[in-house]
A = this chain, B = another copy of it.
Amino acid sequence: MPKRLSLQPSRDPADYPFSHRLRTRFAETDAMGVIHHGSYLLYLEEARVAYLQHLGHPYGEVRDDGVDMAVLEVSVQYRSPIRFDDEVVVHLWAGSVTRTTFQVAYLLTVEGEPRATAVSVHGGVDRSGRGTRLPAWVGEILTS
């Protein structure tokens, strides 16, 4: 059973220890002329992967060690539209770490302006798809 989201994503970039820049794709727009709301989940994931790389634990290696970090829950608040070719900065902060789950809070900005906030909950999953303990470094790094 997923645990409830508990992190509160701030709208101040200074509250986040890590950020990742990306440029939106034309394919990610929709007929409203803006980035489709579903594409935001791809931006969050890309930023998480960049954060794991930054921490010295590339997600490919984590998976090779037999643990996936499945998404148990995600919530996005869309504040103002993101457009084609915008440079988006995804600010993120990880916390609420337990032996089996952790959470990530996100702020998406374009030219310094908040466009969306989000929270995701992740849980360790082994190769057979069952819930499992996260690697020890998760607790050590993300709570420090």
Contact = CB atoms under 8 A, between A and B. Distances in A.
B27 A85 contact: no
B85 A32 contact: no
A18 interface: no
Q: So how many copies of this chain end up in the complex? A: 4
A75 B78 contact: no
A2 B49 CA distance: 28
Contacts of A45: 25-27, 38
Interface of A: 1-2, 5, 23, 25-27, 29-34, 36-38, 41-42, 45-46, 49, 58-60, 63, 68, 70-79, 81, 84-85, 125, 129
Given A2-B79, A5-B75, A34-B129, 18 more contacts: A2-B77, A25-B45, A25-B46, A26-B30, A29-B30, A31-B84, A32-B68, A37-B70, A38-B41, A38-B42, A38-B45, A58-B85, A59-B85, A60-B84, A60-B85, A73-B77, A73-B78, A75-B75
